[in-house]
A = this chain, B = another copy of it.
């Protein structure tokens, strides 16, 4: 077993990106993700990488667009208000088929909101990180170790499918320390980026990275081709963890920080004789529809637990074609629910059944 370190989530995200071969970070300070950038600013100069504090989130995202288009692994990180500002650029990345890693260490909103952990950017991440028809890969780690692992997955799949990927974390995961094992620095095994704009040197056709298609038919066929890729991704890249679902009557669906709490709540409920279980989506896009569907065959009802007013609940309902009741329990504004209050909710639902 490799050595376990204690690392803050934000720092682990940074180190994992470096291990995954990322040498280009463009960011702009915002709580609660500042440690990520601080870590990069310390490390990058020592390993010949670029840490650049941009003038804004918009500039940072566009620098990532440029660097990724030039063929390197590039990333940016921010928190909720800063992510809103990046949406135009993210839509361009998607429309130009440029991969990139974007990290959202969510905080409470709307507006300036607060700086405590939140999961209220689920809809933005899964449906509308900008204008137009597109999706990006969205990963939802629940531990610092999983953050480390998913960073390289996000880079790999982003490169593979030529699309941006997001790690949707939150202030709790970003700020906490947990033991982590760092992977060996892995050489990027991705296919050569023959589409990159880095000078043709008269050795290949010139490359163009672009999202403009003035002829509607061209634009439509681009978009449709992309959605075929998405269909394929939906089939192959869904990820979720199941916990005690085999015999569960009531299945909690929760991701990230709230999944940790829900996990404890399921244990509490089991201790009280309630057959509770959990599905923890690890990919939010694609949503792990297959697993939720499978669980719905035996479960009697679902309980979505989110640190928001309820955004994932639609995806759970749609996954199971509304075939079972899907309930909701959520806290918002930066409040982390307690296992006890979730367990209470489970008990009420069991009673109400």
Residues from chain B with Cβ under 8 Å of A223 in the complex: 110, 309, 332-333
Kindly state the separation between the CA atoms of A214 and B115 in the bound complex, as whole angstroms.
Answer: 7
Residues of B within 8 A of A339 (CB): none
Determine the residue in chain B with the shortest Cβ distance to A86. Answer: B84
Contacts of A130 in B (CB 8 A): 84, 109-110, 124
Identify the interface centre among A110, A134, A224, A331: most chain B CB within 10 Å of its CB.
Answer: A110
Minimum distance in angstroms from A137 CB to a CB of chain B: 15
Contact B131 A120 (CB under 8 A): yes
A213 at the interface (CB under 8 A from B): yes
Taking CB as reference atom, which chain B residue is nearest A94? Answer: B110
Q: In the complex, what distance in Å separates the CA atom of A334 from the CA atom of B91?
A: 16
Bound: A88/B57 CA distance, A: 11
| Interface residues on chain A, number (Cβ under 8 Å) | 66
- 5 A-B pairs with CB atoms under 8 Å apart are A80-B131, A109-B130, A110-B211, A124-B127, A223-B309
CB <8 Å contact, A222 and B131: no
**A222 — which chain B residues lie within 8 A by C-beta?**
333
Q: Which 6 residue pairs across A and B have the least CB separation, nearest first?
A: A109-B132, A111-B211, A95-B111, A219-B333, A110-B132, A220-B333
* A112 on the B face (CB < 8 A): yes
> How often does this chain occur in the complex, in copies?
2
Given contacts A110-B130, A123-B128, A219-B332, 9 further A-B contacts (CB under 8 A): A84-B130, A84-B131, A91-B109, A91-B111, A95-B111, A112-B212, A121-B132, A124-B127, A223-B333
Scan residues 218-256 of chain A and give those whose CB is less than 8 A from a CB of chain B.
Answer: 218-224, 227
Contacts of A45 in B (CB 8 A): none
A331: chain B residues within 8 A (beta carbon): 220
A residues whose Cβ falls under 8 Å from a Cβ of B: 58, 80-81, 83-85, 87-88, 91-96, 106, 108-116, 118, 120-121, 123-124, 127-128, 130-134, 210-224, 227, 308-309, 311, 314, 317-318, 321-323, 331-335
Report which of B96, B111, B114, B220 forms a contact with A96, defined as CB distance below 8 A.
Answer: B111
Shortest C-beta distance, A143 to chain B (Å), equals: 22
B95 touches A84 (CB 8 A): no
Give Cα distance in the complex from A161 to B318, angstroms: 30
A217 shortest CB reach to chain B, Å: 7
B85 touches A219 (CB 8 A): no
B111–A212 CB distance below 8 A:
yes
Contact assessment for A95 and B115 in the assembled complex, using a CB-CB cutoff below 8 Å: no
Within 8 Å CB of A81, what residues of B?
88, 91, 131
